[in-house]
Structures are given as C-alpha cells and as structure tokens.
Amino acid sequence: MKIVDARVIVTCPGRNFVTLKIVTDEGVTGVGDATLNGRELAVASYLRDHVVPLLIGRDPHRIEDTWQYLFQGAYWRRGPVTMSAIAAVDTALWDILGKVAGLPVYQLLGGRSREGVTVYGHANGETVEEVLSEVARYVDLGYRAVRLQCGVPGLDSTYGVSGDKMFYEPARGTLPEVNVWSTEKYLSFAPTLFARAREEFGPDLKLLHDVHHRLTPIEAARLGKSLEPYALYWMEDPVPADLQEGFRLIREHTTTPIAVGEVFNSIWDCADLIRDQLIDFIRTTVVHAGGITHLRRIFDLAALHQVRSGSHGATDLSPVCMAAALHVDISIPNFGLQEYMRHTDATDEVFPHGYHYADGYLFPSEEPGLGVDIDEEAAARYPYQQAYLPVNRLEDGTVHPW
C-alpha cells in the first residue's frame, strides 16, 4: 500500500480548523487534526509546502518510521507548528492502520483499560451565581467534573470567561482583543468562588480551575494554599509553562494538585516535571504534541512517575483530535480526565464522528480507524476567517509579562 495523495483542508464552521486527509492507492483514507488556534495557516503551509511532498509514495503502515523521518529530518526540531503538522500525519496514519486492520484504533493501542472516558466541562460566568448555575447544568447532564472560571470583580473582561456556553471560543477579530489583568484582585477573589461551589455541590464533584499561566510561582503557591480547603481536582497552568523550575517552588508550598501541558509539544517540555513529580496531570494532547505516537510516549513516561493524563480538549481542537484522544484515553493505564468542550452544530456537520457522550463519559467510536471524517463539500462552504487569541494587559497598560 502507498500514499498517493494528501490534502490540507482549511475550514471555518464557526471557528478555523486545519485537517490533513491522506489517501492511499487502495482507496483507504485517514484524517489528522492540524489546528493551531490563531496561527492556522502556518501549519497549513508547513504541511502543503514541506510535508505532503515527502508523503507521496510512502508505505502508510510505517507510522514510527514516518514520525522519526519528519521529526529528525526537519533538523529544526519541536515547536507548535512543526509538531502539529507531524501530529496530523501521525493521526491520519493510525486512522488508516485501524481501517486496514478492521479495528478501532484503541484496540491497536492495547485495548480498553476502562469502560468510558470521564470528561469535564467548562462552567464560566461573569458572576459567582452565573458560574454556579452553569455548574448545575453540567451536573444535570451527568458530568462528574467541572472547570470553574469567573469574571473578577473590578476587571472588565477575563480570559476564559465568555458568553459562549457548552463550547468555548477565545479567538476572534482581525486584531487581538485586550483583557485587563490584576493579580491582586484575582487572588483575593478566587477562593470565594470555590467556597460557594463546595457549599452548593458537596464533596464529590470534581472541581477544576485554569489559571492560564498568569502567576509567578510564589503567587501560584498562595493560590494553591488558599484553595486547599475546597479540595480541587486540579489547578491548571498556574505559571508560564516554559518556566519548569517554578513548579518546584509551588510544590513546596501547596498540596493542591497541579495540571499543565496544553501548550507543550514534546516529551522534552515535560520530562523533568514528570520525573521529579512536580505535577499531577500532564495535559498534552494529540494535535499539539506530535500525534498519537508521541502522546503515548509522554503518557508512558508519566505512568512511571504517578502522573496522570488530562488531555486538552477545548473547542479549537477539532472532532478529529477528540476522536483520536479518546482512543488514547480509553487504552492507557494512567488516564486522569479528558476535557470536553462541545463543538457547534456546523462543526459537527463538517466532521461526522462516531464518538458519543453519555452520563459523564465519552465513548470512542467502535468503527475501524478513528471513527471520524471530514465532509469536504460541507467544509468548502465555510472559508477561513482570520481570528486572534486575546492579549492580556495589566491595569497600567503593560502587556502581562507572563
């Protein structure tokens, strides 16, 4: 079997997605997500101009060899653009392999380790009351875990808090929006939200919070300590992810579990964090961390060090990524939690998929391969629209330096 074609499809059914579709001489096809929010066309060009020509004529069964060939061969290693492009190829090859074998991809990864994939949703609102009523909505839908984000009194807008419910779209506009940030206001307000949530929903519901990299290590340590009475399942991205040493300081001061990794793109971004047990959850995912092959490598290292997975699953990761993530989640021993932001109806129309949600769990498709595809005719009806992620400024106008 040989690869005869690889198409890069850019579509915007509510938000931009980049998808690679690989076609073989036997007519078997595979899909991979290559979406990098706010920088989509860079990955599309990387694929079209530099990767697709290398794929034509290759044997699609050689997944590991293709991964190494693209990674080592580029010379310029790592980075979100390169790793998203490699991820798309890798994911599409696993999809093809599953179809050839007649098995869902999770069976090729070692089979089921659990019955369903526990997911968390996003409850966000401008006020505590609004957030709590969103949490109640998720609880009614059967969710066992919810991430809470609230507007900070005195600040006009906060990253991660939007009018969108059930899905989440931080990128918009032909220029980045500006959010204003105050660490002092945030730190003094955050515990109030979780005190109320515990009061209202009791001890069993898993409560999560995303700091979006806004704090210094000592500030994050203070936040973690102040949230200890409310037993969070995790505190996410407390400090900028590139400052690995900072996590040691947080760890020395608080028992609030730490999750990080959505902007990581390789095992080298988190090897020290995992080996030194400075984190509890690694949140890398298929599309930004080199595909199923590399994500498995990261999660296997994590398993050796009692670190669990918690893959990123925001709306800007396409249903192709979600489908692939679920095959990994259901099969690995050290699964923790999967983020699940739903997609719009238009996105679901462009990406028909067989995974489904029931009672707090997602279930991967049982079809051969990943169980997801792209409807190219539908995709063509939604042309690319430029959109940027927002920028944070402090109250005096300084661009937030981390």
Q: Is 212 a catalytic residue?
A: yes
Taking the least distance from each CB to Mg ion, the nearer of 74 and 389 is: 389
CA dist 402 and 395 (Å) reads 15
Selected from 33, 262, 280, 373, the binder of ligand KDG by CB under 6 A is 262
Q: What Å distances lie between residue 109 and 18, 182, 324, 334, CA to CA?
A: 25, 45, 11, 14
Does 367 bind ligand KDG (CB under 6 A)? Our answer is: no
| Nearest distance in Å: CB 283, Mg ion | 7
Positive/negative CA dihedral, 293, 145, 363, 166: negative
* x-marked contacts with ligand KDG along 121-160 as a string, rule CB under 6 A: ----------------------------------------
Selected from 33, 40, 95, 210, the binder of ligand KDG by CB under 6 A is 210
Site for ligand KDG in 330-349 (CB under 6 A): 339
**Stretch of residues binding ligand KDG (CB under 6 A), selected from 26-34, 82-90, 220-228, 311-319:** 311-319
Residue 402 contacts by C-beta under 8 Å, 6 or more apart in sequence? 213, 214, 215, 216, 239, 240, 243
| Nearest distance in Å: CB 59, ligand KDG | 34
Q: Which of 31, 118, 102 is nearest to 363 (CA)?
A: 118
Contact criterion met (CB below 8 Å) for 83 and 289: yes
Tell me the helix, strand and coil percentages in the chain, rounded to 5: 40, 20, 45
Q: Which listed option, Mg ion, ligand KDG, none, makes contact with residue 28 (CB within 5 to 8 Å by class)?
A: none
- Helix/strand/coil for 191: helix
| Nearest distance in Å: CB 344, ligand KDG | 15
Taking the least distance from each CB to ligand KDG, the nearer of 17 and 71 is: 17
CA dist 117 and 397 (Å) reads 43
Q: Which listed option, ligand KDG, Mg ion, none, makes contact with residue 170 (CB within 5 to 8 Å by class)?
A: ligand KDG
* x-marked contacts with ligand KDG along 163-182 as a string, rule CB under 6 A: -------x------------
- Which member of 159, 186, 230, 361 is catalytic? 159
CA dist 31 and 95 (Å) reads 7
Q: Is 69 a catalytic residue?
A: no
- Helix/strand/coil for 7: strand
CA dist 328 and 333 (Å) reads 10
CA dist 22 and 29 (Å) reads 5
| Nearest distance in Å: CB 374, Mg ion | 26
Number of residues near ligand KDG (by CB under 6 A)? 10
Site for ligand KDG in 19-78 (CB under 6 A): 37
Which active-site residues does the annotation give?
159, 212
Q: Which residues bind ligand KDG (CB under 6 A)?
A: 37, 170, 210, 212, 262, 312, 314, 316, 339, 389
